[in-house]
Every structure is written in C-alpha cells, then in structure tokens.
Structure 1
C-alpha cells in the first residue's frame, strides 16, 4: 500500500510501529518529515508536505500512542 501525505492515520500507525519508544508530542517536524519519507511504503513527493500536514500526522500519532 503506497502512502501519501493525505494518509495521516496510516502514516501515524507506521510511525508508531517504527518508533515505539518515541513520544510524538515532543518530536521536531524536521525529524518527523525525515521519518515519514524513510517509511518503505511512502511514495509521495517529499516537497509536498506542509506544517499543517505534519501537524495532522503528529496529532494522529499522539492519538495512536494513547
């Protein structure tokens, strides 16, 4: 399954599984962006992200971690 920037919940699940010891509340957007782009299933253009997209993914990851 190819992941795109709009797949915030699916990306959050993948990040939760890839980085189980990370508290997503305190992650920097630069690290978040890099980790998303490093996901094997991620196939979107890295330059199409925005602060709003990263924030949505971070919030979904926080929800998943709870």
Structure 2
C-alpha cells in the first residue's frame, strides 16, 4: 500500500522502523521531508507537504520512539 502525506501514523511507524535510535524531535523538517521521500512505500507529490503534515508525521514517529523507551 502506497503512503501519502496524509498517512502520518503509517509514515511515523516506517520512520521508526528504519531508524529506531533517533529521537524524532531532533530531526529538522527539511531532513524529515527527505526521509519521508526516501521511504519505499511513499508515493506522493513532494511539493504537497507542509509544516502541519510534517509535524503530524514527526509526532507519530515520536510516539513510536517514546513507546520503545518504556
């Protein structure tokens, strides 16, 4: 299943699986944008992202990261 910018939770899980040791709150949005585009299952227009979508993805990734530290 291909993901789009609106699939924040799925993208967050994929980003955590790809890099479980990185605290997502330390990743700049420009780098987050690149990481999302590099995901194999991501298929959306790079220009349709925005700060709100990136923040939702970052928070979903952070939830996975935080849960792993319990």
CA shift digits 1:1-59 (9 cap, x unpaired): 10000000000000000111211011100110000000000000010000010001001
Who is 1:61 aligned against? 61
RMSD value over aligned CA atoms?
A: 0.6
Q: Distance in 1 between matches of 2:60 and 2:20?
A: 14
Considering only CA atoms, is the larger Rg found in Structure 1 or Structure 2? 2
Gaps of 5+ in 2: none
> TM-score when scaled to structure 1?
0.96
TM-score, normalised via structure 2 length:
0.91
Tell me the matched-pair count: 66
